[in-house]
Amino acid sequence: MAMEARNIDKGIDGGTGELAGMRIAILAETLYEDLELWYPYYRLREAGADVFVVGSGSAETYQSKHGYPVTVDAEADTVTASQFDAVIIPGGYSPDHMRRHPSMVKLVREAHEQGKVVAAICHAGWMLASADIVRGKTATSYRSIKDDMVNAGANWVDREVVRDGWLVTSRSPADLPAFMRTIIAALKERRGRTAPERQVALAG
């Protein structure tokens, strides 16, 4: 079930586009919000990125809130944050299941520590709180978890999308266009800053 690390490092799509060569992890668990997983998945692939669905290891396939299945490419304990340029966390009820798995929380925390783009929408703020990466950050989320975000140290604001450094947050599926525009802009900016690093890696 788990995808070999070398395949993630090489990429699988070989696509062209503004994000060609970039690798993105989208986290998945049971009862994910359909649009918050599939909209980013196809938008990023359209832009040329290699997109991998990473699960907790509790199953090979997860059902969405509306019964739509997603099959994972890898389990969180078989990958590392260094293999990706970004980690995206959909909402729904899945973040409550994700945060019960230390390997998923670790992946989010280490992606943030390594300066990767970390993006969370709706109830995915729970994962940011569990990873302890919103302390001192301005962020948003679905309004019902505002208190959780504030208690985790976030400066919570009610906006369709908020970017604080490499952290991107949004409130709900209605905010997905702004969410994705901001993620793509952040990824392009990050690629520009890490271009020399990538050239060294390719030369090696």
Q: Where are the alpha helices (DSSP H) in the chain?
A: 5-10, 34-46, 94-98, 102-113, 125-130, 146-151, 176-203
Tell me the per-residue pLDDT of 77-123, one tens digit each, with 9 for 90 and over: 999 999 999 999 999 999 999 999 999 999 999 999 999 999 999 99
**Would you report the helix, strand and coil content of the chain in percent, each value rounded to 5?**
45, 20, 35
* Dist. CA 86–CA 115, nearest whole Å: 9
Q: Mean pLDDT, the chain, as a whole number?
A: 91
| Residue the block writes with tokens 């929380």 | 105
Tell me the per-residue pLDDT of 144-155, one tens digit each, with 9 for 90 and over: 999 999 999 999
Per-residue confidence (pLDDT) for residue 16, from 0 to 100: 81
* Dist. CA 86–CA 198, nearest whole Å: 15
Tell me the per-residue pLDDT of 11-32, one tens digit each, with 9 for 90 and over: 554 568 999 999 999 999 999 9
- Cα–Cα nearest to 94, from 28, 145, 156, 146: 28
* Dist. CA 97–CA 64, nearest whole Å: 13
Per-residue confidence (pLDDT) for residue 134, from 0 to 100: 98
101 is a catalytic site residue: no
* Dist. CA 107–CA 128, nearest whole Å: 11
* Dist. CA 58–CA 149, nearest whole Å: 26
* Dist. CA 140–CA 175, nearest whole Å: 11
- pLDDT surpassing 90 at residue 137: yes
- pLDDT surpassing 70 at residue 55: yes
Kindly report whether the global pTM for this prediction surpasses the value 0.85.
Answer: yes
| 53 within 8 A of 113, measured Cβ to Cβ | no
- pLDDT surpassing 80 at residue 202: no
| 21 within 8 A of 11, measured Cβ to Cβ | yes
Per-residue confidence (pLDDT) for residue 38, from 0 to 100: 98
